[in-house]
């Protein structure tokens, strides 16, 4: 195979299909070809399936989330990712420790200083007029929204099917 002896990133295919390709590229050959150096892999199938309420498991797709209106795409993808991690752990190829990402930019959650308006995104009241500081959320649409209270945040997010860019880490909830 022309990919042996090279650094390879596997693009596409479910984990069992990726495993088959990894085996083909890394197992010894009769001709002594060097193994490929598998440096990464990815697959957008999780996101595609999650849009229909399905998540991947090592025994196939599970559609038990299809009728769960409370599950968002991000939560369904995250659930599928947990199954993928379990699959790779069972294959003995999941790293025992996390990769050290020192020096890489870390996500910074939104703060009230990120607001460009004092108008509540949901009810149009002044976000600074309440008993607590404004609630701020950053969505995967790239928008940062401010709210006068938790109820406005929750109502707006739910009604518009919005997902925070980093889950709960991208919501600023003021101290009580």
**Helix (H), strand (E) at residue 136:** strand 135-138
User: What does pTM read for this prediction?
Assistant: 0.54
Q: How many CB atoms lie within 10 A of CB 81?
A: 13
**Residue 104 maps to a domain:** no
The verdict on residue 101 lying in a domain is: no
2 is a domain residue: no
* Domain boundaries, position 87: 7-91
Tokens of 175: 């101290």
Residue 25: count other Cβ atoms within 10 Å of its Cβ.
19
Q: Which of 56, 91, 126 is the last residue of a domain?
A: 91
Looking at the structure, tell me whether residues 29 and 87 fall in a common domain: yes
Question: In the chain, which ranges are continuous DSSP H helix?
Answer: 15-26, 45-50, 73-91, 150-159
58 and 122 assigned to the same domain:
no
pLDDT tens figures, 76-113:
787 888 888 889 888 887 777 665 555 555 778 888 88
Tell me the backbone φ, ψ of residue 147, rounded to 5 degrees: -135, 150
Residue 46 falls within a domain, yes or no? Answer: yes
Please give the DSSP secondary-structure letter assigned to residue 33: P
Q: Per the structure block, which two tokens stand in for 62?
A: 């599970």
Q: What was the pLDDT predicted at 69?
A: 56
Q: What is the mean pLDDT of the chain?
A: 85
My answer on whether 82 and 26 are in the same domain is: yes
Q: What is the structure's pLDDT at 97?
A: 66
The pLDDT tens digits of the residues spanning 12-31 come to 999 999 999 999 999 998 98
What is the structure's pLDDT at 55? 85
The arithmetic mean of pLDDT across residues 23-48, rounded, is: 90
What mean pLDDT is predicted for residues 141-148? Answer: 89
Structure tokens at 115: 């607001």
User: Is the same domain home to 77 and 121?
Assistant: no
pLDDT score recorded for residue 24:
92
Residue-level length of the chain: 176
**How many domains does one find in the chain?**
2
What pLDDT score does 166 carry? 81
**Residues 123, 155 contacting (CB under 8 angstroms):** no
Residues 78 and 128 in one domain: no
Give domain status of residue 36, yes or no.
yes
Q: 3-state DSSP call for residue 39?
A: strand
Inside any domain, residue 100: no
pLDDT above 90: residue 136: yes
At residue 68 the predicted structure's pLDDT band, cuts being 50, 70 and 90, is low
Angular region, 114: left φ>0, alpha ψ -120 to 50, beta rest: alpha
């Amino acid at each position: 195979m022309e990919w042996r002896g090279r650094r390879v990133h596997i693009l596409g295919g479910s984990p069992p299909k990726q495993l088959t390709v990894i085996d083909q590229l890394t197992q010894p050959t009769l001709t002594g070809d060097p193994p490929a150096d598998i440096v990464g892999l990815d697959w957008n199938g999780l996101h595609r399936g999650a849009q229909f309420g399905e998540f991947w498991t090592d025994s196939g797709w599970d559609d038990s989330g299809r009728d769960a209106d409370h599950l968002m795409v991000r939560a369904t993808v995250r659930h599928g990712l947990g199954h993928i991690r379990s699959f790779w752990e069972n294959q003995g190829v999941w790293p025992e420790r996390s990769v050290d990402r020192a020096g890489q930019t870390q996500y910074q959650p939104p703060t009230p200083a990120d607001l460009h308006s004092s108008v509540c995104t949901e009810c149009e009241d002044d976000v600074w007029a309440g008993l607590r500081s404004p609630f701020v959320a950053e969505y995967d649409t790239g928008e940062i929204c401010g709210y006068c209270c938790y109820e406005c945040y929750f109502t707006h997010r739910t009604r518009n099917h919005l997902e925070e860019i980093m889950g709960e880490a991208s919501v600023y909830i003021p101290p009580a």
